[in-house]
Structure 1
Amino acid sequence: MINLITKLVLKPVAKAVYRPVIEGLENVPRDGGVILASNHLSFIDSVVIPLTAPRQVFFLAKAEYFTGTGVKGALSRAFFGAINAVPVERGTYRSAQASLESALEILRDGKAFGIYPEGTRSLDGRLYRGKTGVAWLALTAGVPVVPVALEGPEQILPVGKRIPRLRKVTVRFGEPLHFSELHGQARTAKARRQVTDEVMAAIQALSGQETAEVYNERPMAA
Structure 2
Amino acid sequence: MGYKFIWWLYKWVLIGPAMRVVFRPTAVGVENIPATGPVILASNHLSWTDWIFTPLLIPRRITFVAKAEYFTTPGLKGGFQKFFFTSAGQVPIARGGASAAEGALEASREVLRNGGVMGIYPEGTRSHNGKLYRGRTGVARLAIEMGVPVVPVGLKGTYEIAPSGKTFGRIVRPTVTFGKPLDFSRYEGMENDRFILRAVTDEIIYEILKLTGQEYVDLYATDAKKRDKEARKA
- The alignment's TM-score, normalised by the length of structure 1, stands at 0.92
Q: Which position in structure 2 is the counterpart of 1:128? A: 133
Matched, 1:189 2:194: yes
| Cross-structure match for 2:12 | 8
8 Å CA contact retained: 2:129, 2:164: no
CA distance in 2, matches of 1:62, 1:73: 13
Does residue 76 (structure 1) correspond to residue 88 (structure 2)? The answer is: no
**Residues of 1 paired with 2:120 and 2:157: CA distance?**
18
1:208 equivalent in structure 2: 213
Correspondence for 1:57 among 57, 62, 68: 62
2:186 counterpart SS class = helix
Task: Check 1:77–1:165 CA distance in 2 against 1; reply closer, same or farther (3 A cut).
Answer: farther
Q: Sequence identity of aligned pairs in percent?
A: 47
Instruction: Check conservation: 2:127, 2:164, Cα contact below 8 A.
Output: no
Q: Does 1:176 align with 2:186?
A: no
Give the 3-state SS of the residue equivalent to 2:216 in structure 1. Answer: coil
Deviations 1:42-73 (A, max 9, x none): 12212221222221110000111122234422
Distance 1:77 1:180 in 2: 37
Residues 90-111 of structure 1: per-residue CA shift (max 9 Å, x gap): 2221121111111111111110
Structure 2 counterparts to residues 150-169 of structure 1, below 5 A: 150-163=155-168, 165-169=170-174
Richer in helix (by share): 2
1:155 to 1:63, Cα distance in 2 relative to 1, 3 A: same
Task: Tell me what 2:153 maps to.
Answer: 148
* SS of residue in 2 equivalent to 1:217: helix
The alpha-carbon deviation at position 165 of structure 1 amounts to 4.2
Shift of 1:186: 0.4
Give the aligned residue type for 1:190: F
CA distance in 2, matches of 1:77, 1:48: 20
Instruction: Give ranges in structure 2 of 5+ residues lacking alignment.
Output: none
User: Paired residue for 1:117?
Assistant: 122
RMSD: 1.9
Partners of 2:48 and 2:137 lie apart in 1 by: 21
State the SS of the aligned residue for 1:155: helix
Deviation sequence 1:14-38 (CA, Å, 0-9, x none): 2222110110110011211101000
Q: Deviation of residue 74 (structure 1)?
A: 3.3
CA distance in 2, matches of 1:83, 1:30: 20
Structure 1's unaligned 5+ residue stretches are none
User: Where in structure 2 are the equivalents of 1:80-119 lying within 5 Å?
Assistant: 80-119=85-124
Whether 1:48 aligns to 2:53 is yes
Compared CA separation, residues 131 and 73, structure 1 to 2 (3 A): same
Give the paired residue count: 222
Amino acid paired to 1:179: F
